[in-house]
């Protein structure tokens, strides 16, 4: 079953257990297998390779960071998205050398008001799950 974790600070995932199955890579958190993450943050670093049409960026959600990699279908988006932009990201869990990373599924720039609203939602979700 595909489960997307919506707006949760990355910090809470540091102690989550990772695994792999028929449906792909996942992490287990609060008894749920999570295959995708929906997060909001600022692009702290960005590297693109025009020749291969791929790249990666580091997203910082103020609690923690995660590496997100992307391939050609998303490469054109990074002519408009740069380091320091506030973005909303949907990514598939990927494990690389025992490190949790994300494969990009979708990205969009967001306004400060959207960023602030989603940041509050992520904190609220974290509190709710810890009960």
pLDDT of the residue at 1: 46
Could you tell me the pTM of the whole model?
A: 0.86
pLDDT of the residue at 10: 81
In this prediction, the residues of the chain whose per-residue pLDDT falls under 70 are 1-6, 129-131
For residue 73, the domain's CATH number is: 2.40.50.140
Q: Write out the residue range of the structural domain in which residue 112 sits.
A: 4-129
Task: Provide the domain count of the chain.
Answer: 1
Backbone φ, ψ for residue 113 (5° rounding): -65, -40
* H or E element, residue 131: none
Distance CA 128, CA 123 (A): 9
**Coil, helix or strand for 9?**
coil
Q: Which of 16, 57, 60 is nearest to 39 (CA)?
A: 60
């Amino acid at each position: 079953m595909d489960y997307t974790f919506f707006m949760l600070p990355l910090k809470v995932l540091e102690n989550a257990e990772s695994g792999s199955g028929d449906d792909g890579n996942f992490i287990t958190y609060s008894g749920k297998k999570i295959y995708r993450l929906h997060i909001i943050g600022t692009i702290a670093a960005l590297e693109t390779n025009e020749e291969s049409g791929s790249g990666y960026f580091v997203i910082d959600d103020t609690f923690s960071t995660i590496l997100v990699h992307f391939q050609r279908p998303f490469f054109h988006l990074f002519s408009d998205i740069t380091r320091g932009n506030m973005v909303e990201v949907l990514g598939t869990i990927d494990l690389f050398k025992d490190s949790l990373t994300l494969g990009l599924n979708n990205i969009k720039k967001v306004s400060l008001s959207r960023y602030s609203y989603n940041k509050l939602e992520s904190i609220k979700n974290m509190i709710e799950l810890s009960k």
